[in-house]
Structure formats: structure tokens, C-alpha cells
């Protein structure tokens, strides 16, 4: 599957983002292959699924070319398109396995939301993280608000979304949103943690997964996000935000 690989195993499976040359940035082709990989994972008897990105980063967020193409679409069609796009990646929340995200390098915007959608996160202490939607001139997407609120609490989530500032894997761990490890030890620690979890009862793990998802309905947030993004995609702020990201400079919003 282009851009995404699924590897099954008797106890531990893997779902790997496979665009290392683009820091695993997300586009529509990856959304389709991710959804297909998630359907395969749903049929797996593995107890743990490691969610990872190949190369030096977990996921740099939405692909800038994908964002610019969508700026030319009619708002109504774009709202439906963005809801389906985010829903494809959030399908990881519906899997029966305990999903463990391994976060190294960059995890920005929708890429960080993908990690937050997992049940557990193991992050390199020097990982570079940001909910950078506002810096791009776009309202948050991919259920950023409820996922961040669940991971780090309401006050911190509001601050991270409004500031769009960068923070580290060590910061995320200090706020209760991840386990942090030295970057050099991350691979080994993820393997160790996955093995410890997978040694437990599969039936009990599935029950834990189901219970910890009670009350976490994301549909209303996705509906709002898709409509709001459809409006802002056509505005000048997003054009400036994308230009600034490409030029590696601070945006200059009017």
C-alpha cells in the first residue's frame, strides 16, 4: 500500500507511515492506504499495534501540496473531503488492539493528532512537537481539541492550540501525555513496552480498550472542524501560512 505498511504478528503488529522523504506528511493517497491498513489490523489477532513513522520523523502533519490543492476546491465539497481525510487516520481509534505510538523527530499538526489518537505514546525526549494549525492560518483539525484535552488537560490544550508553539517529547511526558525516553533508547523501549502489554490477556486488553473509549465521541468535533476549515482554506491567512512554512519564516498575518 502506497505510503503505509501493515505488518502482522501473533502478538504485536505494526502500522508504519512510509514517506520518509517527506517526513511522512499526510496526503489523500496516504489516507486511503492508512484506512486499508487499519482494516487489515482490525482482522489481526495481535494484542498490540505499534504505530510508527519510518525515518527520522513520526509525521510532519498535512502535506503542503495537499493543502494548496484543496484551496481551489468549493467549500461544500472540501468540508466533506476533509472530514473523510481526518476520519481515515482516526480509524486507528476503532481498532481492538492497544495502539502504541512511537514518536521521534517531528510530529506536527495532524501528525501529532495521529499520535494523540493512539492509546499510549512513547516519545523521544527530544521529539519536536506542535499543534501548529493557527500558525498555518487554519483552525485545528483531526479532532485536535478533544485529543489534546484528553492527553494534557484543558488548560494546557487550550494554550498549545492558541499559541501553536513547539514543545518536546519530554514536555509532553511531564504533562501526562506520553512516556518519554532518550532518543537512542526509544526503539528498544517501545519493543519492551509492547512485549509487556502483549503478554497479558487479549480479552482483558480488549475490554480495557473499550472502557477507556467510553465518552470519547469525536464526530461533533470533526463536523465543526471540517466546516470551519472549508471556510478558512479559501482565505488569505492560509496562503500566507503555507508560504511562510515553505520559506521557513514566521508568518505575517494581516
* Predicted local confidence at residue 71, as pLDDT: 84
* Predicted local confidence at residue 1, as pLDDT: 58
- What is the Cα–Cα distance from 94 to 103, expressed in whole angstroms? 20
pLDDT tens digits in sequence order for the chain, 254 residues long = 579 999 999 999 999 999 999 999 999 999 999 999 999 999 999 999 999 999 999 999 999 999 888 888 887 788 999 999 999 999 999 999 999 999 999 999 999 999 999 999 999 999 999 999 999 999 999 999 999 999 999 999 999 999 999 999 999 999 999 999 999 999 999 999 999 999 999 999 999 999 999 988 999 999 999 999 988 988 899 999 999 999 999 999 98
- What is the Cα–Cα distance from 199 to 64, expressed in whole angstroms? 41
Q: Write out the CATH class of domain 4-183.
A: alpha beta
Question: 95, 147, 96: which is closest to 121 by C-alpha?
Answer: 147
Query: Where do the structural domains in the chain lie, given as residue ranges?
Result: 4-183
- What is the Cα–Cα distance from 118 to 147, expressed in whole angstroms? 10
* Predicted local confidence at residue 234, as pLDDT: 85
* Contact (CB, 8 A) for 52 and 20: no
* Predicted local confidence at residue 185, as pLDDT: 98
Longest dimension (CA), the chain: 56
Alpha carbon separation from 122 to 58, 109, 127, 242 (Å, rounded):
11, 18, 10, 29
* Predicted local confidence at residue 126, as pLDDT: 98
Amino acid at each position: 500500500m502506497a505510503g503505509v505498511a501493515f505488518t502482522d504478528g501473533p502478538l504485536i503488529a505494526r502500522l508504519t507511515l512510509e514517506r520518509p522523504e517527506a517526513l511522512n506528511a499526510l496526503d489523500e493517497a496516504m489516507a486511503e492506504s492508512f484506512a486499508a491498513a487499519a482494516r487489515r489490523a482490525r482482522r489481526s489477532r495481535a494484542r498490540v499495534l505499534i504505530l510508527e513513522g519510518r525515518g527520522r520523523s513520526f509525521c510532519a502533519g498535512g502535506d503542503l501540496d495537499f493543502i494548496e490543492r484543496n484551496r481551489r476546491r468549493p467549500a461544500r465539497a472540501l468540508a466533506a473531503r476533509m472530514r473523510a481525510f481526518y476520519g481515515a487516520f482516526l480509524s486507528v481509534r476503532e481498532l481492538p488492539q492497544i495502539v502504541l505510538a512511537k514518536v521521534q523527530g517531528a510530529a506536527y499538526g495532524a501528525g501529532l493528532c495521529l499520535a494523540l489518537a493512539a492509546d499510549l505514546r512513547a516519545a523521544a525526549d527530544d521529539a519536536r512537537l506542535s499543534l501548529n494549525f493557527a500558525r498555518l492560518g487554519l483552525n485545528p483539525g483531526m479532532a485536535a481539541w478533544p485529543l489534546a484535552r484528553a492527553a494534557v488537560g484543558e488548560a494546557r490544550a487550550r494554550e498549545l492550540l492558541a499559541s501553536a508553539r513547539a514543545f518536546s517529547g519530554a514536555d509532553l511526558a511531564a504533562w501526562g501525555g506520553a512516556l518519554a525516553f532518550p532518543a537512542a533508547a526509544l526503539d528498544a523501549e517501545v519493543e519492551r513496552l509492547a512485549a509487556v502489554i502483549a503478554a497479558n490477556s487479549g480479552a482483558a486488553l480488549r475490554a480495557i480498550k473499550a472502557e477507556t473509549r467510553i465518552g470519547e465521541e469525536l464526530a461533533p468535533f470533526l463536523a465543526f472542524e471540517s466546516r470551519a476549515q472549508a471556510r478558512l482554506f479559501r482565505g488569505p491567512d492560509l496562503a500566507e501560512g503555507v508560504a511562510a512554512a515553505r520559506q521557513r519564516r514566521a508568518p505575517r498575518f494581516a
